[in-house]
Amino acid sequence: MILMLVLLMACSGNKPKEEFAIGKKVVLVIHGGAGNINRDRMTPESDSAYRAALELSLKEGYQILMNGGESCEAIIKAINLMEDNPLFNAGVGAVLTSEGENELDASIMRGSDKNAGAVAGVKTIKNPIDAAYSVMTSSEHVMFSGAGADRFAAEQGLETVDSGYFKTEKRIKSLERVQKLEKEHGTVGAVALDEFGNLCAATSTGGMTNKKWGRIGDSPIIGAGTYADNVTCGVSCTGHGEYFIRSVTAYDVSAMMEYKGYPIAQAADAVIQKTLNLGGTGGLIALDTAGNVAMPFSTTGMFRGYITEDGKVTVKIYGDE
């Protein structure tokens, strides 16, 4: 089968648009955050470091799927690798609050039964996505926050760390920059389709640099930052969370497919445009049960990639590639 990739870049204002029609099923799609990501701001070294990190996540998640693993297992692996890499705004690379602390958010949703789990504002869980998964599978609830969520994760036997673990030099500097008004994004997310035809979607983040008052964005909110339904698609978002919450962005992609009959690319584009119309920049990844993928964004770039069933990896960063 010939892989047919159609990339449409329709740039109206700051709205790059991507649509894919592919001949091979996409089994895993990931993002490492959307934002002001330009070639001239990236060194060749950081460009290749991001590409290598995305590729590693895709390949490791793919291995799980190819060995008969479930979609949730594959995306957790892919996200764990990004959480453990200080390049991304999740896990060890999480951005800092206005007080120089880390408060991490994560969520996961399974498309087969629409079960979901989330944690918000956690401070000592090394891999917040694991805690979100535990909430889904080992509690009768959907979302835990703050100290209670940290205690729950510890009781579940998940690895905990001293809060100093998350404080990297890079994020201390970016807090200083953002406090002087420069915005930064960088959440991670993944959606996978397994051999059983089941979708799973997840998102993990440090939130937005310089956040305060216990601010929580879209990432841990089911329907806003993460959504999965086998009837439609799985979605993980990244961007200015307040607007993604108000737009109910992730669910809106699914709703457009279910109620309007839109194909995934059209639904994803329409939703990113609606979110942008409110004033919110960012992007999302979406995957349907037929293996079609959409990765639209309204920022200048988004770290993103996917792997198809034949093992072919595609990784992209900027708006013009």
Q: Which residues bind ligand ASP (CB under 6 A)?
A: 33, 89, 185-187, 205, 207-208, 217-219, 238-239, 241
Per DSSP, the three-state class of 184 is coil
Smallest gap from residue 89 Cβ to ligand ASP (A): 6
User: What are the φ/ψ torsions at residue 227 (nearest 5 degrees)?
Assistant: -160, 145
The rounded distance, in Å, linking the Cα atoms of 187 and 202 is: 11
Q: Are 102 and 47 in contact (CB under 8 A)?
A: no
Cβ of 57: how many Cβ atoms within 10 Å?
28
- Residue nearer to ligand ASP on the CB measure, 71 or 174: 174
Handedness of CA 315, 317, 319, 321 (dihedral sign): negative
Smallest gap from residue 88 Cβ to ligand ASP (A): 10
Smallest gap from residue 165 Cβ to ligand ASP (A): 20
Catalytic-residue membership of 187: yes
Smallest gap from residue 129 Cβ to ligand ASP (A): 14
- Residue nearer to ligand ASP on the CB measure, 89 or 230: 89
Cβ of 13: how many Cβ atoms within 10 Å?
7
Give every strand in the sheet of 116-122, ordered side by side.
143-145, 116-122, 104-110, 199-205, 188-193, 26-35, 301-308, 313-318
- How far, CA to CA in Å, does 295 sit from each of 17, 69, 90, 113, 117? 8, 24, 20, 24, 24
Instruction: Say how many Å lie between the first and final Cα of the chain, rounded.
Output: 24
Smallest gap from residue 33 Cβ to ligand ASP (A): 5
Which among 97, 187, 249, 308 is annotated as catalytic? 187
Q: Kindly give the pairing relationship between strand 199-205 and strand 226-228.
A: unpaired
- Residue nearer to ligand ASP on the CB measure, 69 or 93: 93
Residues identified as active-site: 187
